[in-house]
Chain A
Amino acid sequence: MKLWVLALLPSAALAEPAVPVFLADTGGISAAYEGDYYFMVGGGPAVFDCSGDRKPDLYVPGGAAAGSLWVNESPVGGAFAFGRATSGAELADVTGAYPLDIDGDGVLDLVLLRLGQTQLMRGLGGCRFEAANDLWRFKAPEDWTTAFAATFESGADWPTLAFGAYIDREASTFPWGTCTENLLYRGAAGRFDEALPLAPSYCALSMLFTDWNGSGLPSLRVSNDREYYKGGQEQMWHLEPGAPPRLWTEDEGWARLRIWGMGIASADVTGDGVPDYFLTSMADNKLQVLKDPAAGVPIYLDVAGKRGVTAHRPYVGGDVRPSTAWHAEFGDVNNDGLADLYVVKGNVAEMPDFAWLDPNNLLLQGADGAFQEVGDRAGVASMKVGRGGAVADFNLDGALDLVAVNRWEAVEIWRQEAALGSFVQVALHLPGANRDAIGAVLEVRRGDRVERREVTVGGGHAGGQLGWRHIGLADAQAVDVRVIWPGGVAGDWLTLEAGGFYDVTPEAATEWRP
């Protein structure tokens, strides 16, 4: 028998993308995600502007402790400074948070996922909120809520919300197989209807309304934690206006996949015009690309290995046990025009078969489409027990910054020292109910390649953001963008000059200066 020796960790050193430099800078935020068993999942922050200055503020769920809202007082391009607000959203038992303008008043509201009653918080302006479940006739989930997504269905004047639930919190001896019901809420005219069940439910930790095949009609992807379901798998629901949700089936091409699904990040990584999905899990993570975009059949190939994003074990720190991944988010952190990937890692608690020193990942995409790990070189390889996270430009300098929400230890924020290339940032606006154009597609044209970016609320691990959409330009002086507005109407191609912030409506693009 001839022999050859396996190299288990092949070097991904191909093209060398520019490595950004990050500095630890919490700006005074001291919040942590506290609690034990009931807060082993969750911890996703909401990133959005509540103060009106267009800079992202940060709501941090506190788990067993009270959640906290931190107002961004950072100077443009400067060191971070956050002040704690008295917001009215200081609820305990919050597992995650997403911003959404539910009532279309132009002030972002907050959706607080909780152990116990989920709470919709109406934004009042000035970073103040009021409980609004009763106001909006929202019969809230009362279980252990761990996932959320929102969309505006065709013609709707009120958002459709999906909530994912975890295990029966009362079950102690035999909690496995007790996943409680995920729910879908539709509504109209300022109030929500009775919830529709998204049954069967398999302990969802991430949900995302996504137009996966570019049909103009989004479906609801649900990533489920196989630790607790029986007979379950990853799911995708048809969502036809006015019709009850129904699952995509094997007969329609949906293939059985069973992972410890914890987070969904989406981006058009391959440039084929439809979203690709990075799914976090334990050990190997998945990067799913649609096998045949022209066919419109939901058959996905896992290209995580080929693209170098399995991120299955620590790359620094000496712990070789498998990793545990939670929040994931794409963003062009080095402004080279290619989507990079940030993953927050951390042991469930102290599981001995998984890494305890489990650094967060920052995976930079190279020109050949392969990603390479630079978390340690970039300075973001935290070994804390991470859960939620975010990729956002907090000081509006055009360089994306990173957030990690940790169990039992303070939030970490890394400020990027300086933008490595040029950029533009775009905010989409619509009149009427869907003020932030949820469901729109932002097209970015670079030469022959058109990258399509969905405007979504959902995904990640229990947290999300609304605000500026960052586009890295490398050394380009301008970029062509176009918006496919909800409903399918395409705007005109716009040429946006580098370095600018643009408010884009169906009628015009207006530059805004920080």
Chain B
Amino acid sequence: MACLRAVLIGLILGVTALPAHARDGAALRGEVLFGWYDLVLELVRHTPTYSPPVAARAFAYVGVISHEAQAALDPRARTLAGQLNGLTAFPEAKAGAAFDGAVVLDAALGAAMAGFFGNTGPTGQRAMQAMGDAMALRVEDGLDPEVVARSRALGLAIAAHVADWAETDGGAVVENMGFPHDYSFGEDPDDWQPTSTIALQQAPLLPDWGKVRPFAMPAATACPVAPHPAFSKEQGSDFHANALAVYHASKALTPEQEEIARFWSDDPMLSPTPPGHWVSIVLQIARRDGLSADRTAGALAVLGVAVADGFIGCWHEKYVYNLVRPVTYIKRYIDPEWETLLITPPFPEYPSGHSVQSGAAEAALTAVFGEDFAFDDATHEDDGLAVRHFASFREAAEEAAVSRLYGGIHYPFANANGLEQGRCIGAFAAGLRLEK
């Protein structure tokens, strides 16, 4: 990842700039897309409100913008307007006028960054400015100023259209990092209780996120998760056995299982988040295979929609079931001294968010790239975690799901059923048509 970034920085600084007479529009669009998306993966890590559901929402909108900015100039491409809930027709490029696709895409993505990551700190603001300046120099070089202006206007109009659409989805305003100031808890033994000593996290994250307008699935309830085993504290019960499975797994972790737990942990503000991890996978595949900007943007749009819908559907179910976390159950009924490998996230257990969104990502990316599509994942190389190889998106999704067992975060049934819910949700995104 660090090496790729160095290449990118070289490109945007013009170190390897193409001669003016050899402007390669497709290559420039690729530079723009990869450049801004590399920055997105940092901004999502450094913008305080970006918990995984919120991050997934941003990835969906940025993905849609990326696709539409290119579809606007490509007669073969199909817009997502009319395919996604509430998305109306985009402003069209003026017929007969000259546009530059790289400038359109750069303008659209620059506006998307400012819109969706405007709350980032001074370093992120400075980075966005630096990226915007460098990209503008790169893509505008040698172009007729009128073409530049026209193209920028179109890109900005596309981004503004998406921003207006996003404002109405119920997820645009996130206060207090997503933790409500007041919250009514259940007090039955199966009800979720806070697991963190952090004062800000004594209420659960985003209890109303299941009310956010989905993107491709018709409603948050379109893919309900299967019921979990009936709660019981009795030894020998199915539920107790699942809790014991978490406990025993934690006591017998192999080094690889611990590595897997950390590899998929993707903690907010310490990583690109779980949906960003899947975005990173797509970017790595695109670079490895030399995918075009158009194809990459399409994949990112479908993926973004899948994971965003995954979190909406998952969060809806989390607050239906409101299930107690393993750390609470195990300390109450099995071993009061037990501690988890990973920090338990501050919201109800069932189903597993990692599993649902990974199941959705698996469905979406399998539709785009195919079954048994092998890839290496170096998402966390900069953080000191080794590259992992996967034979398919399904294998990766299943490892992401079981990582939560290893981390002590989820019961096995929450991972298995979560994957299934995610695959159901991801099928809606997989059904999006990107070409005419």
User: B199 touches which one: A230, A282, A305, A348 (CB < 8 A)?
Assistant: A305
CB distance from B386 to the nearest CB of A (A): 12
A231 touching B382, Cβ below 8 Å: yes
Q: Which of B122, B127, B187, B199 contacts A174 (CB 8 A)?
A: B127
A11 is an interface residue with CB less than 8 A from chain B: no
Q: Which of A309-355 contact B (CB under 8 A)?
A: 310, 312-313, 320-322, 348-349, 351-354
Contact across chains for B384 and A231 when beta carbons are under 8 A apart: yes
Mark interface residues in B167-188 (1 if CB within 8 Å of A CB, else 0). 0000000001100011111111
**Which residues from chain A contact B183 at a C-beta distance below 8 Å?**
5-6
* Cβ-defined contact, A8 with B131, below 8 A: no
CB contact list, B38-93 vs A, under 8 A: 38-39, 42, 45-49
- 27 A-B residue pairs with Cβ-Cβ distance under 8 Å, sorted by A, are A3-B185, A3-B186, A3-B187, A5-B182, A8-B199, A8-B203, A37-B123, A40-B122, A173-B12, A173-B127, A173-B130, A173-B131, A173-B134, A174-B39, A174-B42, A175-B127, A177-B2, A227-B46, A228-B123, A258-B270, A283-B198, A284-B200, A320-B176, A349-B122, A351-B119, A351-B122, A352-B119
Q: List the 8 shortest-distance A-B pairs measured between CB atoms, nearest first.
A: A231-B384, A231-B383, A172-B130, A353-B48, A310-B199, A1-B186, A230-B382, A173-B130
In the complex the two chains form, is B186's CB within 8 Å of A174's CB?
A: no
Among the interface residues A37, A175, A320, which one has the most CB atoms of the partner chain B within 10 A? A175
Which residue of chain A has its CB nearest to the CB of B174? A353
Chain B residues lying within 8 Å of A493, measured Cβ to Cβ, are none
A302 at the interface (CB under 8 A from B): yes
Which residues of A from 226 to 250 have beta carbons under 8 Å from B? 226-228, 230-231
Is B126 among interface residues, defined by CB-CB distance under 8 A? yes
Counting CB contacts under 8 A, is A176 at the interface?
A: yes
- Considering the chains assembled together, what is the distance between the CA atoms of A507 and B382 in angstroms? 55
Residues of A5-36 at the interface with B, using a CB-CB cut-off of 8 Å, are: 5-6, 8, 36
What are the residues of chain B within 8 A of A305 when measuring CB–CB? 197-199
From B118, B182, B385, A6 is in contact (CB under 8 Å) with B182
Give the residues in chain A near B199, CB-CB below 8 Å.
8, 283-284, 304-305, 310, 312
> 1/0 per position for B1-36, CB-CB distance to A under 8 A?
010010001001000000000000000000000000
A2 at the interface (CB under 8 A from B): yes
Please, how many residues of chain A have a CB less than 8 angstroms from a CB on the other chain?
41
Q: Is B121 close to A, CB under 8 A?
A: yes
Q: Provide the bound-state CA to CA distance between A201 and B322, in Å.
A: 41
Min CB–CB distance B35 → chain A (angstroms): 9
Q: For A353, what are the chain B residues with a Cβ–Cβ distance below 8 Å?
A: 47-49, 119, 177
Q: Which of B381-408 contact A (CB under 8 A)?
A: 382-385
The interface residues of chain B lying within 8 Å CB-to-CB of A40 are 122
Known: A227-B123, A351-B121. A6 touches B202 (CB 8 A): yes
Cβ of B184 and Cβ of A322 under 8 Å apart?
no
Q: Which residues of B contact A228 (CB under 8 A)?
A: 123
Contact A1 B177 (CB under 8 A): no
The verdict on B163 contacting chain A, using a C-beta distance below 8 Å, is no
In the docked arrangement, what's the CA distance between A282 and B48, Å? 10
Restricting to B113-133, which residues have a CB under 8 Å from any CB of A? 118-119, 121-123, 126-127, 130-131
CB of B231 to closest CB in A, whole Å:
12
- Contact, CB under 8 Å: A174 / B181: no
Chain A 470-485 residues near chain B, CB threshold 8 A: none
For residue B269, CB closer than 8 A to chain A, the reply is yes
User: Residues of A at under 8 Å CB distance from B?
Assistant: 1-6, 8, 36-37, 40, 167, 172-177, 226-228, 230-231, 258, 282-284, 302, 304-305, 310, 312-313, 320-322, 348-349, 351-354
Q: Collect the chain B residues with CB atoms within 8 Å of residue A320's CB.
A: 176, 181
Q: Does B238 have its Cβ within 8 Å of any Cβ on chain A?
A: no
How far is B183's CA from A348's CA once the two chains are assembled, in angstroms?
Answer: 29
- Could you say which of A4, A176, A354 contacts B42, with CB atoms under 8 Å apart? A176
Interface residues of B (CB under 8 A from A): 2, 5, 9, 12, 38-39, 42, 45-49, 118-119, 121-123, 126-127, 130-131, 134, 176-177, 181-188, 191, 197-200, 202-203, 269-270, 322, 382-385
Q: A226-B270, A283-B198 are in contact. List 5 more A-B contacts (CB 8 A).
A: A1-B186, A5-B184, A173-B130, A174-B39, A351-B122
Q: Determine the chain A residues whose CB is within 8 A of the CB of B122 once the complex forms.
A: 36-37, 40, 348-349, 351
Chain B's closest residue to A308 (CB) is: B199
| CB pair B177 A6 closer than 8 Å | no
Q: Are A174 and B184 in contact (CB under 8 A)?
A: no
User: In the complex, A37 Cα to B182 Cα: how many Å?
Assistant: 36
Residues in B with CB closer than 8 Å to A349 are: 121-122
Task: Determine the residue in chain A with the shortest Cβ distance to B198.
Answer: A284
A137 CA to B293 CA in the complex, in Å? 55
User: In the complex the two chains form, what is the Cα distance from A97 to B269 in whole Å?
Assistant: 30
Q: Would A351 and B127 count as touching, CB distance under 8 A?
A: no
Given contacts A173-B134, A174-B42, contact A1 B191 (CB under 8 A): yes
Contacts of B270 in A (CB 8 A): 226, 258
Partner of A312, one of B47, B200, B269, B383: B200
Partner of A2, one of B5, B42, B123, B188: B188
Q: Is the CB of B187 within 8 A of A2?
A: yes
Q: How far is the CA of A173 from the CA of B384 in the complex (A)?
A: 21
Chain B residue contacts of A6, Cβ below 8 A: 182-185, 202-203
CB distance from B100 to the nearest CB of A (A): 22
A175 engages B123 (CB within 8 Å): yes
Contact partners of A36 in chain B: CB under 8 A:
122
B250 to chain A, nearest CB (A): 15
Q: How far is the CA of A418 from the CA of B337 in the complex (A)?
A: 48
A322 x B182 contact (CB < 8 A): no
CA distance A245 to B121 in the complex (A): 34
Contact A8 B134, CB 8 Å, known A3-B185, A320-B176: no
Find chain A residues with CB under 8 A from B39 CB.
Answer: 173-174
* A contact residues around B182 at 8 Å (CB): 5-6, 8
Q: Is the CB of A322 within 8 A of B177?
A: yes
Which B residues are in CB contact (< 8 Å) with A4? Answer: 184-185, 187
- For B200, the chain A residues whose CB sits under 8 A away are 283-284, 312-313, 322
- Is B187 in contact with A37, judged by CB distance below 8 angstroms? no
Chain B residues, Cβ within 8 Å of A8: 181-182, 199, 202-203
Question: Do B121 and A172 touch (CB < 8 A)?
Answer: no
Cβ A177 vs Cβ B123 within 8 A: no
**Least CB distance, A462 to chain B, in whole angstroms:** 18
A282 to B269, CA, bound (A): 12
Q: How far is the CB of B253 from chain A (nearest CB, A)?
A: 13
Complex: A227 Cα to B45 Cα, angstroms: 8
A383 to chain B, nearest CB (A): 19
Complex Cα distance, B46 from A230, in Å, reads 12
B46 CB contact (under 8 Å) in A3, A176, A283, A322: A176
- Among A228, A283, A321: residue with most chain B CB under 10 A: A283
Chain A residues whose CB sits within 8 angstroms of the CB of B38 once the complex forms: 174
Q: How far is the CA of A5 from the CA of B134 in the complex (A)?
A: 52
Distance in angstroms between the alpha carbons of A313 and B181 in the assembled complex: 12
Q: Which residue of A lies closest to B5 (CB)?
A: A174
Min CB gap B260→A, angstroms: 17
B47 to chain A, nearest CB (A): 8
In the assembly, what is the distance between CA of A8 and CA of B202, in Å? 7
Residue of B nearest to A301 (CB): B197
> A174 to B182, alpha carbons, bound, how many Å?
38
